[in-house]
Structure 1
């Protein structure tokens, strides 16, 4: 049974999972990693989730305001042994619900073309590809998505 806990970026289990995520991304992104890393600073994140299974942290995700009425999904990660069990969808859904509770209308996100699992996750969960936004405009390796979450 997966238990999802609301927290913030200062929580130790969230930080540990993000360190694992950053290691995975550094390997996948290669020379491009430092470009992406500059947009993922934890001090900017107020809303984070950690998923636990048997009191072990197995996944995380976060949201931060992108613009009024729009939250950006950040720092999605599931530990390798727990992938394929639907945990990422549960975390993503919880983030969308949290954004809605906070009064936001839409979620946007960026992922890399070298992360086919992430692209499949977002597509499966109703996200639509949009033109690359903000700092990702013109970045060949980036894929940006959006989903309206308001009722």
Structure 2
């Protein structure tokens, strides 16, 4: 599996984001979508060169990233794609100097809650638009510099690939086009 940073205009990413929104609407109604900032950075998971999942981070304070748009297509679920994406996005945040990752998910997404809790995210007080939203659960994790997949080889933060080495470890972030070790 390859995790690759893509611009929001990328066709494969756009198709994943549309599918993610369609699923959110089915589960939560149209108000289930929240805004993503223009400075958000997206990763796309590729299996056999096909986009199968995505996620983004956006700045949410001096040292905090907010996780956005985590999605894996139904046929790729249960294969470690979401866990690899999450680890890759944590690496991307670390490489950007961010030390805390926060997120909001819905109670109608038990698989997401399970992923976040098993990945070290702890429940936290609702923030921003999520305050007073009874169907939303907020989580937070302190990103250590030696976490899974952590690496210091991020030479070009504008052109990245993350090579997943196992379902629970996104490996090192490397410049696009560089071969795996």
Q: Same fold (TM over 0.5)?
A: yes
For normalisation by structure 2, the TM-score amounts to 0.77
Deviation per residue, 1:12-68 (Å, 9 max, x gap): 1111101000000000002xx22x32x234x62531000000111000000001111
Q: Which has the larger radius of gyration?
A: 2
Asked whether the 8 Å contact 1:45–1:62 carries over to 2, the reply is no
Partner of 1:11: 10
Asked whether the 8 Å contact 1:112–1:142 carries over to 2, the reply is yes
For normalisation by structure 1, the TM-score amounts to 0.92
Q: Tell me the SS of whatever aligns to 2:144.
A: coil
Could you tell me which runs of 5 or more consecutive residues in structure 2 were left unpaired when the two chains were aligned.
146-181
Partners of 2:8 and 2:70 lie apart in 1 by: 13
* CA RMSD between the two structures: 1.2
Asked whether the 8 Å contact 1:9–1:45 carries over to 2, the reply is no
> Where does structure 1 differ by over 4 angstroms across 4 or more consecutive aligned residues?
none
1:92 to 86, 90, 99: 86
Partner of 2:177: none
Partner of 2:167: none
What is the 5 A alignment of 1:1-151?
A: 2-30=1-29, 33-34=30-31, 36-37=32-33, 39-41=34-36, 44-151=38-145
Q: Tell me the SS of whatever aligns to 2:92.
A: helix
